[in-house]
Amino acid sequence: MSASLPGKRDLPASRYNLDTYWGRVRQSADLADPRTLFVSSAGLESAKSLVSSYKLRHVQSMTPELWKAKKVVDSTLHPDTGQPVFLPFRMSCFVISNLIVTAGMLTPGLQTTGTLLWQITNQSLNVAINSANANKSTALSTSTLIQSYFLAVSASCSVALGLNSLVPRVKRISPGARTILTRLVPFAAVASAGALNVFLMRGEEIRKGIDVFPSPNEAQKQQMAKEGKDIESLGKSKKAATIAVAETALSRVLNATPIMVLPPLILVRLQKREWLRRRPRMVLPVNLGLILTTSVFALPLALAAFPTRQRIRAGNLEREIVEKVGEDGMVEFNRGI
């Protein structure tokens, strides 16, 4: 993101009001805009140069071109490392990366082997996305990464297979209700394992803490910029890490809910229509269309549930942080996405 580029002067966090949910939705829609995936390396360097020009005070005010450059930088670079996030694991590629996997999990009549393969594929993608977009102030060891991966895969496969075997045994429900319950099994597996995946992948942050920074007001920022001072870390906080990881896990569940619930329920209704009965080959493209449409709208809504750059009272964190900024002092940290 732009915070990782040279220069003492901070860019406005967004052209939208991030104190409101809908402001964060619009900001998240920018971050998830797949058009930024087509920006070339030269285009990225040009965007970085323009953003740096503002931060170095060579450009005095925000312009449409500068907002566009900030959008490219924010959707491409990791805020902690300043390096591009691997393209398939960026939030701007999230809908595309997940489309085929989600369609596979939601395929009607999926057998045991197919269920296992798609759940493994989904959790592999989740591990990659969570790792690529996590807070990087606390390193994750390879052994922890591998252990977290296998635990998440085991959890998702266990839930999926367990519910698939349980639903047929449920008595006193109509065939239609049984069909709906069967179609919702992937949601239960994805939601539970997805949240667990985040906690496992980012458990090191909770154990060691993440960097917390003071949250100066605009006047203080301008004064620091004039004096050439950087905003330095106040130290690592385990409580801030717990908040960051918990909010990210919840946002994953919020994102999965409409994507894994609405398309299968709508498809059940559509499959009863004469048009789709006569054209069974259209089930797959219809399913893909439903998933794509839902995903495009669901991702910004889920990402906006919590601010990416979280601001909180120091009194809610460790005593070491409170001693530096006071009980009512405001601090901030990168939640990760």
pLDDT at residue 264 in the model = 87
Cα separation of 67 and 70, whole Å? 5
**What pLDDT is recorded for position 158?**
87
Give the pTM.
Answer: 0.76
Give the list of residues 6+ apart from residue 108 with CB closer than 8 angstroms, or none. 183, 267, 271, 283
> For residue 245, what pLDDT is reported?
92
58-65 contact pairs (CB < 8 A, 24+): 62/11, 62/12, 62/15
In angstroms, how far is CA 13 from the centroid of its own chain? 18
Q: What per-residue confidence (pLDDT) applies to 2?
A: 62
| Structural element, H or E, at residue 213 | strand 210-214
209 and 249 Cβ atoms separated by less than 8 Å = no
Q: Which two tokens stand for residue 68?
A: 């566009």
List the pLDDT tens digit at each of the 337 positions of the chain: 666 676 777 788 888 988 899 999 999 998 889 999 999 999 999 999 998 888 888 888 888 999 999 999 988 988 878 888 899 999 899 889 888 888 888 887 788 888 889 989 988 888 888 788 776 766 677 887 788 788 888 888 888 888 888 877 877 778 778 888 888 888 888 888 788 878 887 888 898 898 899 887 767 766 766 666 667 888 899 999 999 999 989 988 888 889 888 988 898 888 888 888 888 888 889 989 999 999 999 989 988 988 888 888 988 999 999 888 888 888 988 887 7
Helix intervals (H) in the chain: 21-31, 41-55, 64-76, 94-105, 112-133, 142-166, 175-201, 203-208, 218-227, 238-270, 274-277, 283-303, 319-325
Using only C-alpha atoms, the chain has a radius of gyration, in whole angstroms, of: 22
3-state secondary structure of 175: helix
Angle at 297 between CA 293 and CA 298, to 5 degrees: 105
pLDDT value of residue 3: 63
- For residue 18 the two structure tokens come to 């991030």
